A and B are shown apart, each in its own frame.
Chain A
């Protein structure tokens, strides 16, 4: 049992991150925390890809090192995905700044109240 878990530790960590991220996105009342949850969720996926590239005893895929290499492609993909994630975070935070300027709050409940009383 323990060995089975230990052999899949990356995947377990991945799905823990996905779970935590989803939970924070849904449950957090603060808009910034929601964005943090989103980041955690994405990190889980990054880890998933990178873990899949791992080869037992593999070297980094650089020409001067000896094989076997770990798979380079997922690394490249995730590099792209990280860039996308950064851009998303930036846009999200930009919106949050505007929301705060408009309503003076970042709490979802308060925001709802303010908008209803408009």
Chain B
């Protein structure tokens, strides 16, 4: 079984090369290759997940070097979840990308490279290896954002690149401190050495923690380190916004959870109140300010991006609380948010393809022009707000119960109030979609607005969007996301029980 682990990374990398090579012989063959690789990847992830939830944990040592000297790949319940999510979302978005584009082979090669990087971050058990995969993920994401056809894509991508590299560099610097303090890079080994408090200078450990966490905060887009995100999500083609909003920050948040609990552990947080305060502060500010910024956006995709800032605040809050219930909640919300936010971005893309509407104002009376889009958007928004029995509620409930169990009252208040904050920005959109007449001539109005990029061919903004309109695959993906957002709410408890042993082991580890 453990021999299967490297394939989770190798399959997409290999697929990426094949996609690039196939382009030499036949253009536009990338999609088929990507689908093949994603299906295989999903099968690998599924097989691994099936046994990871049963057994202790699956470990594979790369190249036969013994741990802690070699690189270890680890799959436990938590990483299996994220791996499955990555593979599933990648495949789902492909169904959407068929018509929505971009369609070049290099695009799909980069697409698969991104999947490889994300999978690598998920399964790695080595801190430096995580940095490498973080950068692979980053590189692929920057290139994907830049693949849009209009001018704002490369500008947004460059900003993303510079800020993202800064974050990854801080992460690397933190690894340096941890390495100097302990002489090892293997996560499990680091945890053991850091726990022997006498052996490690506490200042080194604190510096390592601070740098790694701030670096990952940038990647997760926690306020005020989120500045790259709205531009990147809004500037990217719709397919890419859907993919990266669902996965990139999600896996970074998973990495945060992994590093904080596998490497540093609860003991470290207890003995360093400042470290915990850093997490709590980041969470609270992110939840509140992210929502407030979302309310003031006029472009739908930017609004959704700020919503992510707020939602990841919730996950950071769960990491800060750090008991079993809260961390199970973090895992559920990671999955739930990926489905909901990815779905929302793809729905926004679908709506733009059908009607050209991209700003909040243009969503007026959308239900008549794009009933499927408006309906899916409504369901996903309701789920995002956290109305039971959707998955949005399940995640929030676990985290909130975790906060109550730990007696973190201030955090609990913010988490509960976040429902209202989320409502504030989604309600106005829902009201416009269903209860307003469309503006008389949106095209003319849009030409007067300065924020919108290319009014005349808004459809083409999608990077090679097809004038023939939306495809069945696009509808299926969007509706599928909406259905999943509700269905997963019922699966949350069973999943939580499956995951509990993993989380308990995670919290017990030295």
The chain A residues found within 8 Å of chain B, CB to CB, are 18, 22, 25, 31, 34-35, 38, 41-42, 45, 48-49, 52, 73-74, 77, 80-81, 84, 87-88, 91-92, 94-96, 98-99, 102-103, 111, 115-118
Contact = CB atoms under 8 A, between A and B. Distances in A.
A25 B166 contact: yes
Interface of B is mostly: helix
A111 B157 CA distance: 14
Contacts of A18: 173
24 contacts: A22-B166, A31-B158, A38-B162, A45-B169, A45-B172, A48-B176, A52-B176, A73-B179, A80-B128, A81-B172, A87-B135, A87-B139, A88-B135, A92-B142, A92-B161, A92-B162, A95-B157, A95-B158, A99-B158, A102-B151, A102-B154, A115-B151, A117-B450, A118-B453
B10 interface: no
B73 to A, nearest CB: 17
B143 interface: yes
Contacts of A94: 146
B180 interface: yes
B152 A115 contact: yes
Contacts of A117: 450
A99 B151 contact: yes
B165 interface: yes
Contacts of A91: 139, 142-143, 161
A24 to B, nearest CB: 11
B161 A80 contact: no
A88 B180 CA distance: 26
Contact of A95 (B154, B165, B166, B454): B154
B200 to A, nearest CB: 15
A49 B172 CA distance: 10
Given A49-B176, A92-B162, A77 B154 contact: no
Contact of A74 (B154, B158, B179, B450): B179
A116 B450 contact: yes
A41 B155 contact: no
Contacts, number: 78
B20 to A, nearest CB: 15
B154 A98 contact: yes
Nearest to A42: B169
Contacts of A35: 162
A19 B154 CA distance: 27
A11 B146 CA distance: 36
Interface residues of B, number: 30
A117 to B, nearest CB: 8
A95 B152 contact: no
Contact of A38 (B128, B165, B450): B165
Given A38-B162, A45-B173, A98-B154, A52 B139 contact: no
A86 to B, nearest CB: 11
A87 B180 CA distance: 27
A95 B138 CA distance: 14
A116 B151 CA distance: 12
Contact of A98 (B138, B146, B165, B453): B146
Contacts of B154: 95-96, 98-99, 102
Contacts of B150: 102
Contacts of B17: none
Interface in B434-456: 450, 453-454
A103 B158 CA distance: 14
B132 interface: yes
A26 to B, nearest CB: 10
A42 B176 contact: no
B458 to A, nearest CB: 13
Nearest to B170: A45
